[in-house]
Chain A
């Protein structure tokens, strides 16, 4: 709390005071208290069921439904009162300051939306058949004002609590979230419209399908996290045993995702390449340990056995349904642009895009990891090596993309403690060696985990920091732990 800057304190204080003033000023005449109570309960229910969205570390709740319904039914002051119920939401927020700010923000947004509703000719009260369609215009204005105020206040707090020197990047207040919020807000008019026929039971009935929808979304997100965590654990088991220094798969996965994002791949393909990165070396289990651990020169047979590993990997992962494109990536990740790679000796554009991405990340991680015969190379040196071999071993476009991504986001190379001392089969990655950085970890009793601390987002979701807003809440999840320089980190200190 103490770390909060003076500007941030002023800002949060101003929002809370404004909300208090609005509520205290009234007037309270003509407000139906039974409706305020029911809507307040609805808001608490919405607030208590905020779900974390995996992708952007955002939590999301249907608060605006309750707020906008109260705008029609009980007017601006009543809506502000309903908004104050945010304070009693049953969810973990890290501090009272968060909770108070969220409450103030919701009360203000609801109040201003109510003002806009009145200003554009809306009538407060339970709508009857004569209210339609006249109510639609004012209600739309109210929705827009609500969303706008909400997002602006949220932007403001993110700005006020940013850490010095960090540019406020994308924090997920994007178009999609705005649309979702407007969609939820639109349900407010339905609650108001049904009040005549369903009475106080309306919010309950409207809330059930919304709740189940959000439950389903959460189920999906949880299952996806579980999936990622399991794949990553199994991959680690494979590499701990014999082959790579620990965490290699995960770092390759991370690097490939960086490249994929940089060149603007679609989200589903980014997901696929994430798994391809994790699974790319699974086939090495099929190579006899004696061959992999051999210190001298390889015989032709042994060499052939090693060249088979991408195919073996393919054998293992072939049955995983969704990995279609990833399969090609796993099979061809040792191809070279000049056609001197294996297993097929493809060249140039014949090599699948996924494979070209993987090979860049694979080689880069091999270079920046410790080997017994040399320490890890520093990132700049590895970058210049990548550039040097662009066009012969690597696709230059992906090298450029990777370098740009590293320059912007940085690269977390494994520290010495992360790695077991590795024996290395043969020379260096880029000295023309086709084995591209095979290394064998001696015993697999290396330190805990990798620097990456798991794939982003696979930790237990934390409802940590939350700045309530939008359709709910921005929370910091485990994902940000991966990237301490990320913009959302800034509000952790509230």
Chain B
């Protein structure tokens, strides 16, 4: 329950676009080449291969979802990187070829994914492929240097190389995931990449440090290092899983409670959900980063909570039809309610300014972008409602466009218009 995916995927899984299929094919080729070459050359140090393969499979079994429907397998990644960076086990130098690292990592991942498949959870091939490619990059560089003894055997010569390779792996994985997400969510690549790096940073640091520790510790304590230095990652993983769970619950709860205005007859059914969906799409179209999008979503869901202060519901809940002072009062009350939670102050600000025109007559500061987005999305939904007719939507956009001189932000209305025309092409 905790790891429930709470955001819709952009596409059904069957319809993988060419970029993703290319990635998966590339990973498949790596797998086959690695396994074939290892089979020909023979496995170097079977015990180590089994230990690390086991760790990778275990980590893959425990993969987790991060906020924003991302998949990560920190323990598997740490194990694979550590294997790629292994210099000695006890007193024996580890003379691994890169092909063996790739083969062990790939087989470990597949084995770890089997139980998931068995219980009907489909493997997310693109995420697995991204992880494998990152490991392969590290293995190719490091094994080349190490096996030709180009790195000394002191921590001050090994560590900088290893450190930069671990960072490289983190960058490669983030880059690939960002490419995939840009494609799925129609966001902007730069913004998506920054989001990705931001989300992956703490976990990436822990994974990288654990990988280095395991590979260094293997020299001192042999293969026991594999188990010992997995422990902090395990704790991290448990906590992150619960964190993701409660975050999902949080969103569900706000979604559910936002509906009290609908049940109370204050707004049309489905209004807050539609406005929030539309607002988030507009925000993404305008290149807002992920934390801001989350705030926007909360604010959009709760934008009508202030209507609870009205004694009698507005007919149909259409705030676009009531006078400005009344709108402002509703917004103010809503913001007060949200502010009571004390943790959502910026959301409260967004809600407070939602009824302000984008160019205030008294030349005060213009409302934040999120407020302007909610204002436009709310007006659009008040005019269109749950209707899916494209002519009606186009007419609504036209009406908003007429008001861009003072009321609505032209940039937001243009983004809305692009979304609407795209939707009418793709169908509802």
Docked-complex contact A316 and B232, CB < 8 angstroms: no
Contact with B along A308-329 (1 / 0, CB 8 A): 0000100111111110100000
Please report the total number of B residues contacting A with Cβ < 8 Å: 60
- Residue of B212, B235, B264 touching A217 (CB-CB under 8 A): B235
- Residue of A197, A198, A285 touching B263 (CB-CB under 8 A): A285
Contact with B along A212-225 (1 / 0, CB 8 A): 11011101100111
Docked-complex contact A196 and B209, CB < 8 angstroms: no
Docked-complex contact A199 and B249, CB < 8 angstroms: no
In whole angstroms, what is the CA distance A190 to B213 when docked? 10
- Residue of B239, B242, B252 touching A319 (CB-CB under 8 A): B252
Docked-complex contact A322 and B249, CB < 8 angstroms: yes
For A315, list chain B residues within 8 Å (CB): 263
Docked-complex contact A190 and B228, CB < 8 angstroms: yes
For B256, list chain A residues within 8 Å (CB): 316-320
User: Of A129, A197, A283, which is in contact with the most chain B CB atoms at under 10 Å from its CB?
Assistant: A197
Docked-complex contact B206 and A208, CB < 8 angstroms: yes
Docked-complex contact B232 and A210, CB < 8 angstroms: yes
Stretch at the interface among A231-239, A253-261, A367-375: A231-239
In whole angstroms, what is the CA distance A233 to B308 when docked? 13
Docked-complex contact B155 and A199, CB < 8 angstroms: yes
For B248, list chain A residues within 8 Å (CB): 321
Q: Which residue of A lies closest to B203 (CB)?
A: A212
Interface residues of B in 208-254 (CB under 8 A from A): 208-210, 212-213, 216-217, 219-221, 228-229, 231-233, 235-236, 239-240, 242-243, 245-250, 252-254
In whole angstroms, what is the CA distance A315 to B233 when docked? 40
A460 at the interface (CB under 8 A from B): yes
Docked-complex contact B252 and A213, CB < 8 angstroms: no
A226 at the interface (CB under 8 A from B): yes
A50 at the interface (CB under 8 A from B): no
For A194, list chain B residues within 8 Å (CB): 213, 216-217, 220
For A283, list chain B residues within 8 Å (CB): 263
Interface residues of A in 280-307 (CB under 8 A from B): 282-283, 285-286, 289
A175 at the interface (CB under 8 A from B): no
Docked-complex contact A216 and B240, CB < 8 angstroms: yes
Contact with A along B147-182 (1 / 0, CB 8 A): 000000001100100000000000000000000000
User: Of B159, B239, B255, B305, which is in contact with the most chain A CB atoms at under 10 Å from its CB?
Assistant: B239
- A residues bordering B, Cβ < 8 Å? 129, 132, 183, 190, 193-194, 196-199, 201, 205-206, 208-210, 212-213, 215-217, 219-220, 223-227, 229-238, 240-241, 282-283, 285-286, 289, 312, 315-322, 324, 458-460
5 new A-B contacts at CB < 8 Å, known A223-B250, A229-B343, A320-B249: A209-B229, A215-B202, A217-B235, A234-B337, A319-B255
- B residues bordering A, Cβ < 8 Å? 1-2, 4, 155-156, 159, 202-203, 205-206, 208-210, 212-213, 216-217, 219-221, 228-229, 231-233, 235-236, 239-240, 242-243, 245-250, 252-257, 259-260, 263-264, 302, 305, 308-309, 311, 337-344
A/B interface sample: 16 pairs, CB < 8 A? A196-B220, A197-B219, A209-B213, A212-B202, A219-B239, A219-B240, A219-B243, A223-B246, A223-B247, A227-B253, A230-B250, A230-B253, A233-B337, A236-B340, A285-B263, A321-B4
